[in-house]
Structure 1
Amino acid sequence: MTITVIIPAHNEESGLPATLHSIKTQSVPPEKIIVVDDGSTDRTGEVARSYDGVTVLRPPRNLGSKARAQNHALPHCGTDLVLAVDADTVLAPDYIERIKPAFDDPAVGVAAGNVQTRFTRTPWERGRSTEYLFGFHWHRPIQQLANSPVVCSGCCSAFRLTTLTAFGGFPERTIVEDMDFTWSQQLEGRKAVYVSDAMAWAADPETLTYLRKQVWRWMAGFMQNVRLHLPRLITRKPMLATWIIVALLEIILAPFWWATPLILTFAMHKPISGTLVWWAGGEFLLTVPALLYAAKRRRLPVRQVLFNLPFVYLNKAVNLYYAWKALVIELILVPLRLSHSLTIYEKGR
């Protein structure tokens, strides 16, 4: 099968070289590489053109979202598959080699690999590294076994071109096109696939400012897709609907879990020391075994993985705030026409 790599890029001159190098050195090289220089004001286009075999497309104006930039490149593909890669994501040398076989099954419409963090320099990156280790070595494999992946990550997803174009291209109706397409494909009876051994490393927000922008977009997009798809998923794809409902319940119940030590101490007059030990023990059992397994799979130093663990609670606090904000706005206020859905795409770094 032939494959085209599409890289949407807006002011990505610093991260783009590593991305392009990782694509140019694939064990199974792509037939085409297209960089969409989406209204950049830096040297993004110049950097992309300096690589042999890279086609650079520049729309007449900034298109305003990753999905629109990707759709701008679709007419120029002409291959069996399309691999969408973020301009700050680095692929393992055998990523294409490992992702292609997923499409030997004609029912597969989209597939994506295992995403980990490129850098762990700041508290926010360290927290994200823990989230990714847990999610991609616990949640994703279980969802794959149940044939119900919740999302094929947009930073490194491969698509069957005929299926993608028949759908109308990358969906622009929600702020997170990857989740929208993943759910839509499964609603149409096609498969979304997680390929655990296809590795990619994404550059994540290194500051709280960028983390807030990214998480707000992710959470608002999740709730937009819940509003758009969940009723049909319950009847057509109940296992996927179950994962989504569990995620919603986790968001709703998380404040109560976090407040449990205070509730037990002040409302039920339990000793605070015992309460904290019980709560911390529960957190330990829910997270550490999966992280140790992930560290073994990725051959990471256990000490480094455990050192990063406390930082995940900073990220969890940000996640929870924006999850609740998105729930209220996208699932309550928007249907009541008391607020507007998020449509402005802001970069997360």
Structure 2
Amino acid sequence: MHTITVIVPAHNEEEGLPATLESLARETVPPDRVLVVDDASTDRTGEVAAAHGVTVLRPPRNLGSKARAQNYALPHCTTDLVLAVDADTVLAPDYIETVLPVFDDPSVTVAAGTVRTRHTRTVWERGRSTEYLFGFHWHRPIQARANSPMVCSGCCSVFRRADLVAFGGFPERTIVEDMDYTWSQQIAGRTAVYVSDAVALAADPEDLTYLRKQVWRWMAGFCQNVRLHLGALIRRKPLLALWVTLAVLEIVTAPLWWATPFALAALTDRPLPATLGWWAGTDLLLTAPPLLYAARRRGLRTLAVLRDLPCVYATKAVNLVYAWKALVVELLLVPLGLSKGLTVYEKGRADTPAAQPTAAGRERAAQAISAGRAGRPAGAVADAS
């Protein structure tokens, strides 16, 4: 039987942390221990955590990144497994129970489930919701079938502690520790697993300011890992290298796809509205089937999922800008010694209480995730928050 410790790094999370800890308390297979790292918070994060009966660890100063906070807690873990959960993530009640069996295979070193958005209040959250539904029901299953997942999501990953300690802990050399560890372990011949039936709800940026910070960190971190690992991936994990190469090519060619309707209008006699309609229709045909499957798979209302589809073009535009910035900075300027790249970890959400969910919002999130896992109609997932 596996034992498991949960690490929750938290900086100024007094309003959002209760929902995370309450979800852990509802797990059908409860963790053996929950460690909250109160990373020099200036609010009541530590007090809130202590009130939930968990162990609170307080570094003497702010550690500056999630990986460093997690590493601060790692020596306190004595179980064979470690579950890293973000302080704004709510797990399904059976998350741990669903993930644990994959570790019966001794080759498995890290595993994570499906991530969905907790809130769909703004255009940015709705666009991210669409991205998650598409990615976790199209890209991720294909990668899982090929035994080459691109990443085990850092907001809800389970690690084999012995492997994690032997590796030196959560990697701090890149700005995205989850991708770094997922690639490093697969290069070393270990197995990373996507567990589709395990569901986690993450709080994503609610406005453009914080979306930009999160996307810049994600894209810069991806390119840092490309710079660090691509050669070894080609030699030792060619299928994963293929996914990575395709992702880079998608970034490089994305401007051509976005410019297609305007180029056609300029080069032919067709009016711009007609070429835009053709372009949008083609993109819809490529995007809609996985979303329809995701709606059925998760018990979501189809109309609610399709309603959010136009919002994804707003988040895609932000993704494109920062993906290209990451290519230039991390894959060109850093190797030339003209930039240090992104080294400062910034959260994708504000620390202010206004950005945090209310108690009623936490309850709606719990109801939504239960409905989604049970396969019941859960259109309220998209509407409640």
TM class by smaller structure: over 0.9
Give the aligned partner of residue 292 of structure 1.
Answer: 292
Give the aligned partner of residue 211 of structure 1.
Answer: 211
Deviation at 1:278, TM superposition (A): 2.1
C-alpha distance in 2 between matches for 1:273 and 1:172: 48
C-alpha distance in 2 between matches for 1:325 and 1:75: 37
C-alpha distance in 2 between matches for 1:308 and 1:326: 27
Structure 2 residue 147 is the aligned partner of structure 1 residue 155: no
Secondary structure in structure 2 of the residue aligned to 1:169 = coil
Q: How does 1:228-267 map to 2 (within 5 A)?
A: 228-267=228-267
Alignment deviations for residues 183-204 of structure 1 (CA, whole Å, 9 cap, x no partner):
0000000001000000000000
Alignment deviations for residues 206-236 of structure 1 (CA, whole Å, 9 cap, x no partner):
0100000000000000000000000110111
Secondary structure in structure 2 of the residue aligned to 1:116 = strand
C-alpha distance in 2 between matches for 1:270 and 1:241: 40
Secondary structure in structure 2 of the residue aligned to 1:28 = coil
Give the aligned partner of residue 22 of structure 1.
Answer: 23
Give the aligned partner of residue 103 of structure 1.
Answer: 103
Structure 2 residue 3 is the aligned partner of structure 1 residue 2: yes
Structure 2 residue 72 is the aligned partner of structure 1 residue 72: yes
Structure 2 residue 141 is the aligned partner of structure 1 residue 141: yes
Q: How does 1:1-349 map to 2 (within 5 A)?
A: 1-52=2-53, 54-349=54-349
Alignment deviations for residues 217-264 of structure 1 (CA, whole Å, 9 cap, x no partner):
000000000000001101110000000011011101111101000101
Deviation at 1:273, TM superposition (A): 4.2
TM-score w.r.t. the length of structure 1 is 0.99
Secondary structure in structure 2 of the residue aligned to 1:22 = helix
Secondary structure in structure 2 of the residue aligned to 1:192 = strand
C-alpha distance in 2 between matches for 1:167 and 1:88: 27
Q: 1:153 is aligned with what amino acid?
A: S
Alignment deviations for residues 274-293 of structure 1 (CA, whole Å, 9 cap, x no partner):
42232122101110111000
Q: 1:152 is aligned with what amino acid?
A: C
TM-score w.r.t. the length of structure 2 is 0.89
Deviation at 1:332, TM superposition (A): 0.3
C-alpha distance in 2 between matches for 1:344 and 1:163: 27
Deviation at 1:340, TM superposition (A): 1.3
Q: 2:333 is aligned with what amino acid?
A: L
Aligned residues between the structures:
348
- Unaligned 5+ segments in structure 2 are 350-385
- CA RMSD of superposed structures (Å): 0.8
Q: 2:208 is aligned with what amino acid?
A: L
Q: 1:18 is aligned with what amino acid?
A: A
C-alpha distance in 1 between matches for 2:74 and 2:189: 23
C-alpha distance in 1 between matches for 2:41 and 2:193: 33
Secondary structure in structure 1 of the residue aligned to 2:192 = strand
Q: 1:345 is aligned with what amino acid?
A: Y
Check 1:122–1:273 CA distance in 2 against 1; reply closer, same or farther (3 A cut).
closer
Secondary structure in structure 2 of the residue aligned to 1:243 = helix
C-alpha distance in 2 between matches for 1:334 and 1:103: 38
C-alpha distance in 2 between matches for 1:346 and 1:272: 40
Q: 2:184 is aligned with what amino acid?
A: S
C-alpha distance in 1 between matches for 2:64 and 2:151: 22
Secondary structure in structure 2 of the residue aligned to 1:194 = strand
* Residue identity (%): 73
- Unaligned 5+ segments in structure 1 are none
Stretch moving more, 273-282 or 236-245: 273-282
Alignment deviations for residues 16-44 of structure 1 (CA, whole Å, 9 cap, x no partner):
00000000110000001000000100000
